[in-house]
Each structure stands twice: as C-alpha cells, then as structure tokens.
A and B are shown apart, each in its own frame.
Chain A
C-alpha cells in the first residue's frame, strides 16, 4: 500500500499565477481533506471532498477550489496566488464515518505534502 501520495513535491510560482496540486488517497479511502501549513504553524483545514462533492470548507477564500475524481483522487487549485499562499499543502484521506464524509473519529492519513513557494 503506497499510502497517501501527493504531487509535485515542490513548486515555485509567482504572484498572480495559478497552481494545481494533486493527491491520491490511501487504498480503500474515499474521503480527502486538504490542509495548509504555514511555516511554524499547525495545519489549517481548507476543505474536504467526499463522493466528488465538497462537504466542508474552512475559512479560505474562493481562490481555493478543489475537485475529486471518481477514483477518489483529488486536486487543489489556487488562483491569483499571493505571497501569503506560500506553505506546505497537506492532503489527508480517511474512511467515511457513520454519517459519511469522513467520520470525526476516523484516523486521517496524511501525505508528505507539496511545498509551494510564491515569489
């Protein structure tokens, strides 16, 4: 089992550009969450996808959008990049709970992250 994989590992962009980050969940998982981890901070929840729909969203602007594919893989898109978007972007996958959409008590398995630098 390859676990959660993310690509690319590192990315450098300039302000105003757009970026797409990719995530493949752990085998058997169908729920994907994205987190932003700024340097020296804890991860912050961006959004979660389940059954190809955004189920929950954190306090992030509409410049952050996502998609989940039928094979459960997911993309995170960020438009009009700002310097402050520089961070480690983490993808996590999990099983849905009884209520679907990733049970609150289920372990989330994290990928290694994509380091985004905006110049």
Chain B
C-alpha cells in the first residue's frame, strides 16, 4: 500500500523567501508523484508531476520538485515566494495499474507574509 506524509501542517514564509514544502512517500513499487494546490473554496490544481525520467521536475508558477528515491522524498520548492502563493498544498502518490487512484497527504498550508 502507498502512503504520503507531509511534514508541517503550516508553513509561513516572508515574501521573496524560499518556499520548501516537504513530502515523503511510501510505496513498494515505483511511484508516480504529484503536487496539487488548493485555493480557498476551490478544487485542486496540478502544480507538477513526476512519472519517469528526469528527477527534477518543473511546474507552473515557478515551483519545482525533486524525486529522491533513496530518501523516498518529493519536496516542493520555489526560490522566491509571492503573496499569491498562499494556499493549501497537497502531495499525492499513485502507482501503475491502480488506474489513477491518488493517495493524498494531509496537506500543508502556506502563508506568505508581506
């Protein structure tokens, strides 16, 4: 079975500072990994995904994540936070032959201070 752990339910950064949201996964088979963002009263929007190939994945809005198999991690980063980045972020995992079933972490709420 797969699982996802997001370290830190709340992260606060200053505008312009580095954003780092942590995600660790557990999977007995090679995983597919996703980061989604959720703004208040909205559905989820995909930021980026890792399936195979290059382990450093670039997404929308300047976000990127690196798949580290040895550390079972897929941390999300952004060099410089913007006020509009304030939202809830979810890391998720799926595996081949499970038809796209996503297992989500608990989420990390990102606050950006001016």
A58 at the B interface (CB under 8 A): yes
A104 touches B44 (CB 8 A): no
List B contacts of A101 (CB < 8 A). 99-100
A41 touches B106 (CB 8 A): yes
Tell me which of B4, B43, B98, B100 contacts A110 (CB under 8 A): B43
List A contacts of B36 (CB < 8 A). 110
A102 touches B100 (CB 8 A): yes
Q: Enumerate A47-85 residues with CB–CB distance to B below 8 Å.
A: 48, 50, 55-56, 58
Main secondary structure of the interface of A (DSSP, over half): loop
Residue of A nearest to B98 (CB): A104
B102 at the A interface (CB under 8 A): yes
Contact count A vs B, C-beta below 8 Å: 84
Q: Which of B13-21, B70-78, B79-87, B89-97 interfaces with chain A?
A: B89-97
B102 touches A107 (CB 8 A): no
12 new A-B contacts at CB < 8 Å, known A90-B43, A101-B99, A108-B100: A31-B100, A33-B101, A41-B106, A42-B105, A42-B107, A48-B100, A102-B100, A105-B51, A107-B34, A110-B43, A111-B43, A112-B41
Seen from chain B, the residues whose Cβ lies within 8 Å of a Cβ on chain A are 4, 32, 34, 36, 41-46, 49, 51, 90, 92, 94-107
